[in-house]
Amino acid sequence: MKLKFLGTADSGGIPSHNCDCSICEEYRRKGKKNLATSAYIECENDEIILLDAGIEDIASIFDGGKIAAIFLTHFHPDHALGLLRLRYSSDKIVCYHPKDKDGFADLFKHPKALDFMENIPFNPIEVNEFKFTPIPLKHSKNTTGYLIQTKNKTIAYLTDCAGISEKSMEFLLSCTIDECYIDACLAPNFSNGNHLNYEEATLVLDEIGAKKSYFIHSSHFTLEHIKRNNIELKYDYI
C-alpha cells in the first residue's frame, strides 16, 4: 500500500495567488505547485480510493478509472471541493464522512452520484483489501483522520487537526503504525486554533512513534519562516 498525494498544502496552496514571498517565487520559477491536501490509494483491482477530494478537477484526474470509495476527513472546501464535480459521475460513489449536519454547499440536497455514509468513530470500514478506521481529530469542523490497514502495512492520515484527544491517542498507541502523516500547517509564532504548528506536530509524532513520520498541510508562510530562520526540522514536509 502506498499513499499518493495530489497535494499536501493548506487551502491557499503554493504558490499563493500574487504572493511574492521567497517560497512562492521559488515555486513559480521552478514551475512547481502544491495544491490542497488530498491523497489516494490504488487497489489491487486497479480501483482508486480517495482520501479527501479538495482538488477541483479531481473528476478529470481520475476520468476513466473506477473510484471505489471516498474517505472524507471533513467538509471544509479545500477537502471537499472536488465532490461538486464527482457527483456528476456515471458511477455510484460512496463517500464516508464524519457527522456534519451542514456538510458542504448543496451536496446533501443534491448528491446525485454520491452516496453519503456517515462514519462512526473507531468503527472500521472495509473497502477491497483495506480497512479504514475513523479517528476523531480536534478541528473547527467535526473531523476524522483515518487509520488505513492492510495485512502488511498500517498508515495514519491525520489532517486537519489542532490536537488529538486522549481517546484518539490511546487508539493510535494501540497500533503499530508504519507511516504517519499529520497536519503541521503553522509555524510556532502563528496560531488560529485549527491546526498544529510544526513543534506541536513533532511532539505528537514523537508520541505516536511510527516507523516513518511526515508533516502535511503546509503553508507558504510556515515554509518561509523555516527557510528565513534556517530551522532544522525533525520530520520533513512532503
From the list 3, 58, 68, the residue with the least C-alpha distance to 35 is 58
Output the pTM of the full model: 0.97
CA distance 9 to 38: 9
**Contact assessment for residue 100 and residue 74, using Cβ atoms and an 8 Å cutoff:** yes
Give me the domain span that covers residue 205: 3-237
Dihedral pair phi/psi, residue 140, rounded to 5°: -75, -20
pLDDT tens for the chain, 238 residues long, are 999 999 999 999 999 999 999 999 999 999 999 999 999 999 999 999 999 999 999 999 999 999 999 999 999 999 999 999 999 999 999 999 999 999 999 999 999 999 999 999 999 999 999 999 999 999 999 999 999 999 999 999 999 999 999 999 999 999 999 999 999 999 997 777 899 999 999 999 999 999 999 999 999 999 999 999 999 999 999 9
pLDDT for 200:
96
Count other C-beta atoms under 10 Å from residue 176's C-beta: 9
pLDDT for 55:
95
**Domain at 232, CATH number:** 3.60.15.10
**Residue type, position 165, single letter:** S
Q: In total, how many domains does the chain have?
A: 1
Cell of 149: 490497514
What is the DSSP secondary structure assignment for residue 77, as one 8-state letter? Answer: H
**71-80 per-residue burial string, b: 16 or more CB within 10 A, e: under 16:** bbbbbbebbb
pLDDT for 189:
78
CA distance 55 to 115: 19
From the list 157, 146, 140, the residue with the least C-alpha distance to 120 is 146
pLDDT for 220:
97
Cell of 227: 527557510
